Structure 1
Amino acid sequence: MRIAMVSEHADPLAAVGGVDAGGQNVHVAGLAAALAGLGHEVTVYTRRAAAGDPATIAMAPGVTVEHVPAGPPVPLAKDDLLPHMPAFADHLRRRWRASRPDVAHAHFWMSGVAALEAAEDLGVPVAQTFHALGTVKRRWQGSADTSPPERLAIERDVGRRAAAVIATCSDEVRELTAMDVPVDRITVVPCGVDLGLFHPDEAGTRGEPDVRILSIGRLVPRKGVDTVIEALCHVPGARLVIAGGEPGDEDTPRLRALAAARGLAGRVRLAGAVAREDVPALMRSAQVVVTVPWYEPFGMVPVEAMACGVPVVASAVGGHLDTVSGCGMLVPPRRPRLLAAVLRDLLARPELRAALGASGVRRARSRYGWPRVAAQTESVYRSLIGDRLGRLAAAGG
């Protein structure tokens, strides 16, 4: 199968941790490689963000990344990319006319805009994964939402026009149906985790002698790191390590100032960005991983921590309701005192931490390994190709 994967702002080759480089980049890279491992030929189309980006580059056996000339070859915030989607679509159309893919899979709403436009006259079925929905973002961020004002209407149109919508969690299905996306076109396929990288310590030991809580990911306000710092005021003796951010960002000094204002400067360490290959060891060094965003379309951090055998406390939102429920602790977002109570209880009960860690490993291995996720995605693709062939046969084509 020839698969065209469209990821307009999330280059699978980009370093994770920047403003617009996170879980989607990891997902696209992992899914592309896993599909190639099933014998498929995958091309990932992403916007050229630097003049030096090669036109094409081999990412893994069977996977090619193609940098699309759409807009100036400089980094642009994803919220500024919509005007460049016609150029992106024109490039896809030219490439697909020359070598038609069997299926296209668009990641994020603007990728859907480009993929649907390019595929319209070529008969290429398009599967859509949103990764985040504008309706949810606007609900939580209000006037702070920097998305283009037309996003909600376009997103709804993309959802209704796509041949299939691949949601990453059951909560997203509810949001999509509220947008009038036909429920019979929606399939839940979660994000995956690299179980070769994220696994428990083979030596059977984990953690440092002191009480260590880890928060890892982007530091923007919606990720809830402020809530973790506020909670630490009520968790005596614990230390908090915050990993993430990038040089010159405005969130690192904001969080450092908050810790100082709460008298926690000696118990909070902002570690900065961590190389992806170093993340598992960092997770295993903690007694608990905390991730309490206001909203979360899926949430890779808890799944990665679970795969490492580390107990997780997460906000009861979005994908966490699928991944963490039953094998971790869920709390409402933006409730620091309640979070503190859960942390105090968990840190005082090593047997509970061990039980949650073991159940997390079992769930990560049974549900979220990339081979399983790729096979589920492949099944959606095959259904679309079968539908297309059936329509062609019925039309005498």
Structure 2
Amino acid sequence: MSQYIKDFPILDQQVNGNPLIYLDSGATSQKPFKVIEAVETYYKTMNSNVHRGVHTLGSRATDAYEGAREKVRRFINAGSTQEIIFNRGTTTGLNLVASSYARENLKEGDEILISPSEHHSNLIPWQQVAKVTGATLKYFELEPDGTLDLNKAKAAITDRTKLVAIAQVSNVLGTVFPVKELAGWVHAKGGVIVIDAAQSVPHMKVDVQDLDCDFLAFSGHKMVGPTGIGVLYGKEALLNAMEPIEFGGEMISTVGLYDSDWKELPWKFEGGTPIIAGAVGLGAAVDYLESIGMDTIDAHDRHLVAYAMERMGELEGVSMYGPRKDRTGMVTFNLDTVHPHDLATVLDAEGIAIRAGHHCCQPLMRWLEVTATARASFYLYNNESDIDRLVAGLKKAKEYFGNVFR
């Protein structure tokens, strides 16, 4: 995959006198020339509002915007473009489901079932839904390696379970959760499943019809697309029954002095001027990823994770979290008594960018019995030599802090 590094201009630079090694794609991915050029071309040649003007620029912009929607539909195999809602990102999509679907359909006695490994964006909305509706928030039990035992997970889904919300891939542990099986079990009990796909859609083939999920949210910026653009997929029947939560221009059909009617899907959930350039860039990102192949990217990411865990496992004092297999995208770890922020600072001096902190997963940090962790996350532009540089940086950090605390 090293041939793709040249597609990412930001990687051709030095940081603190060293060639940049970017290992923070779990937070945001870098952007290839084709995505950058697509956004630039939009602003240079077709910048206009969509769905409104009949002039040439407006038609070009509308075609590009709706063309991007079709690309996303195909990318995740949604049944219709009406099921593709553009928004600001995963957080916005999950909050839309919580506010428009869950608050209106859940009641006292119902149960919401999530994992303790969830990102705050897929945890706090359900806390708020529980408070407003009287529903009970419950949690799957994680195994010691951060996976789900299928028998325990199935038993946790009862007749009271009206909504399951879970990440397909943990943004800390890299665990690939069995969302297809969970969907079948929750549907058998009459509930719905909401999938946080922020860490899965960029790294593996995701087919919403095969998963049979009811809602699925992801962000463009984690899949080589622009920031500020995301997607909520929802089954058409569910979205049709839901009310919008933002009101204004473009999402209306007719407006009277005392009442209004909404447009059909997907536009009733896209009030105001949408994120047009972001959508165009996301469409270009889909084209780029498809030109490589999601199966190829998936295999590459899993190889890098396995290689990193093997190399890092050679070092004394390194604690790694999450399963040893069936994981993707990242390795989360701690080094002896070195605080992750200090470790990240030392690595940055070597030109190596990693993440440090609680990763918006404070309950998971408490489950792991740590205050914070370091995280190296990989993508298609990384290779084994990047991991070798990381390991060398960890050795240097061990030597430095070992001398400091002698």
**TM-score over 0.5 for the pair:** no
TM-score by length of 1: 0.30
TM-score by length of 2: 0.30
Structure with the larger RCO, 1 or 2 (CA within 8 Å, 6+ apart): 2
